[in-house]
Structure 1
Amino acid sequence: MMTITLPTHHKAIDITSETCPMTFVRTRLALDTMETGQILLVRLAGADPLKNVPRAAADQGHDPLDLLEQPDGTWLLVLQKG
């Protein structure tokens, strides 16, 4: 079994079962509960969320810091609330 070290974060959500546009709606709701500068980890899957969630977050003034591919084929988006 592989151990994955997650980036330091304040909150994490899993939106792998969501479809667009709910992927960003769930991300935005999580960001709305956080303070500026805090880090949100978003676990996502699929081509559309992979493209749209980081772009929509940046359009809203947040900073996509990293996008990490996971062994199970999902991705972890590291966002800093703007």
Structure 2
Amino acid sequence: MSETIKTDSTIDITDVVCPITFVKVKLALEDLEDGQTLAVHLNDGEPIQNVPRSLKDEDHKVLSVKKREDGTYDLVVKKNGLLAD
């Protein structure tokens, strides 16, 4: 049984390439309140390698990464602010 994480917003970045992928995710996170979650649909390769790492570098929390049958990925990230969990 797979657990579904409720997300507050969703972004599809399969149509853009690095480094714009992370820029788009970062802009989407800016629209959220601290503690809210963002679902990101992204491609294999550089995006799935770089976006999660960049999010962690900025102290956001990657809650899940799941590979789809078409080879793309769904990532869920929680926006971290000044307050810790």
Q: Same fold (TM over 0.5)?
A: yes
Aligned match of 1:41: 39
TM-score if structure 1 supplies the norm length?
0.89
TM-score by length of 2: 0.86
Distance 2:37 2:61 in 1: 9
Taking only the aligned residue pairs, the percentage that are identical comes to 41
5+ residue gaps, structure 1, are none
Q: Cα RMSD between the aligned structures?
A: 1.3
Counterpart secondary structure, 1:64: strand
The CA distance in 2 between the partners of 1:45 and 1:57, in whole Å, is 16
Contact 2:25 / 2:40 at 8 angstroms: preserved in 1? yes
5 Å-filtered alignment, 1:57-72, equals: 57-72=55-70
CA shift, 1:6, in A, is: 5.3
Which residue of 5, 10, 18 maps to 2:16?
Answer: 18
Shift of 1:58: 0.8
Return the alpha-carbon distance in structure 2 between the equivalents of residues 47 and 6 of structure 1.
Answer: 24
